């Protein structure tokens, strides 16, 4: 915490940009955790069901892509926040 | 902007193109070319003799229409939704051609990485599925079926109805546009990053750094192949979500 206080004292014109860059990095990193786990579950379960019932593979694949698309949206919103923080 | 002495161009430099003539830039040109290419494929496919075995562009057209009929329409809307196939095929090819320019040399820019095209398409899809819902169920019945899913305890409707309303009418078009836009923007920035790294290492002043350029270069080649996959996949996902929304508006849950 002391280091943070010292850093905060050394004000310079770039500080807002630096903070925005740090925030942007954290925004994307944190936003990627949940969807990463989620997509892992979706694909893992889909492969499991395809292996159990190969004749249902087509339907499972369609539903899997839908699930991935919905889960992935969260990570992509994190990416947009990253772009907005970093460049806007 | 400079990161570790590596000159990374401003994002406006990567995405904002100068006007070719007033209010018409490269992204708009790619959009027009995508429309023309979509029309051209099906015009060319239509000219072939239907009695002979299909070749070339007719194969592409037939395979894609068959794929969209059997894998998208039949899985999501059902048999009575086959009339939507032309609409979905047009969406698929337009989005795909807007995406694939990301990796085509001299174009090197996905038109969908600017918000205008995804936002307009999401708006069109929003209008279409709401019109379908109102036409097939009637306005108040469609609103009721969208906001009050069956099989929920009465007290929970106070919580569920606002959430369902927001997610159906506000979040859906928003996430549809953001998904396409952010995927293509991320791909474009990734390609730019590795191209800049390769270039910086080749032209480095230190001789020891020069051979390292093979690493980002192979990553660039790999990512280019990956972006072909992403282009097709995003066009597919946009199309199938459109079909799912139309199917949901047409057949309410009972």
Q: Domains of chain A: which residue ranges? A: 2-87
Neighbours of A10 (CB within 10 A): 7
Mean pLDDT across B143-171: 89
Q: Do B175 and A66 touch (CB under 8 A)?
A: no
Among all chains, which residue has been given the structure tokens 């009721």?
Answer: B144
Residue B241's closest CA among B94, B92, B67?
B92
Task: Identify the band that residue B210 occupies on the pLDDT scale cut at 50, 70 and 90.
Answer: confident
**Taking phi first (over 0 means left), then psi (-120 to 50 degrees means alpha), and beta for anything else, what does residue B148 get?**
beta
Name the residue facing B179 among A58, A76, A86 (closest C-beta). Answer: A76
Please indicate if any CB of chain A lies within 8 Å of the CB of B230: no
Chain segment B104-113, per-residue pLDDT in tens: 988 889 999 9
Chain segment B3-38, per-residue pLDDT in tens: 566 777 888 888 888 888 888 899 999 999 999 999
Task: Identify the band that residue B120 occupies on the pLDDT scale cut at 50, 70 and 90.
Answer: very high
d(CA B42, CA B62): 9
A57 to chain B: nearest residue by CA? B71
The first and second tokens of residue B191, run together, are: 């390609």
* B179 contact residues in A (CB cutoff 8 A): 69, 72-73, 76
Would you say B176 and B95 are in contact if contact means Cβ atoms under 8 Å apart? no
Residue A27, H or E segment: helix A15-52
d(CA A70, CA B73): 19
The first and second tokens of residue A73, run together, are: 């949206």
Give me the residue spans of the domains in chain B: 2-250
pLDDT of residue B3: 59
Q: What is the second-level CATH architecture of the domain A2-87?
A: Up-down Bundle (1.20)
* B75 contact residues in A (CB cutoff 8 A): 58-59, 62
pTM exceeding the 0.95 threshold for the entire prediction: no
Mean pLDDT across B183-195: 91
Task: Identify the band that residue B172 occupies on the pLDDT scale cut at 50, 70 and 90.
Answer: very high
B47 to chain A, minimum CA–CA distance in Å? 32
């Amino acid at each position: 915490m002391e280091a943070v206080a010292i850093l905060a004292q050394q004000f310079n014109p770039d500080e807002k940009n630096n903070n925005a860059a740090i925030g942007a990095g954290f925004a994307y990193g944190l936003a990627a955790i949940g969807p990463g786990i989620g997509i892992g579950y979706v694909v893992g379960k889909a492969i499991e069901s395809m292996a159990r019932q190969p004749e249902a593979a087509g339907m499972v694949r369609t539903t899997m892509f839908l699930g991935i698309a919905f889960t992935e949206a969260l990570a992509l919103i994190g990416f947009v926040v990253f772009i907005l923080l970093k460049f806007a | 902007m400079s990161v570790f002495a590596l000159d990374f161009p401003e994002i406006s430099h990567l995405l904002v193109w100068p006007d070719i003539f007033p209010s018409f830039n490269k992204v708009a040109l790619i959009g027009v070319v995508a429309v023309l290419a979509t029309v051209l494929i099906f015009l060319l496919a239509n000219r072939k003799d239907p009695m002979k075995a299909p070749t070339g562009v007719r194969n592409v057209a037939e395979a894609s229409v068959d794929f969209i009929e059997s894998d998208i329409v039949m899985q999501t809307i059902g048999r009575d939704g086959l009339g939507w196939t032309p609409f979905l095929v047009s969406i698929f090819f337009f989005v795909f051609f807007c995406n694939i320019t990301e990796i085509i040399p001299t174009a090197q820019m996905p038109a969908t990485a600017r918000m205008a095209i995804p936002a307009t398409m999401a708006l069109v899809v929003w209008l279409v599925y709401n019109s379908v819902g109102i036409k097939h169920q009637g306005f108040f019945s469609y609103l009721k079926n969208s906001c009050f899913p069956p099989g929920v305890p009465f007290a929970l409707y106070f919580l569920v109805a606002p959430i369902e309303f927001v997610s159906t009418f506000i979040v859906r078009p928003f996430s549809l546009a953001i998904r396409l836009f952010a995927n293509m923007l991320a791909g474009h920035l990734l390609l730019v990053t590795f191209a800049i790294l390769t270039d910086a290492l080749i032209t480095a002043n230190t001789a020891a750094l020069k051979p390292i350029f093979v690493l980002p270069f192979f990553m660039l080649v790999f990512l280019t192949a990956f972006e072909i996959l992403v282009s097709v996949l995003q066009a597919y996902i946009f199309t199938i979500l459109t079909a799912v929304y139309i199917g949901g508006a047409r057949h309410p849950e009972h």
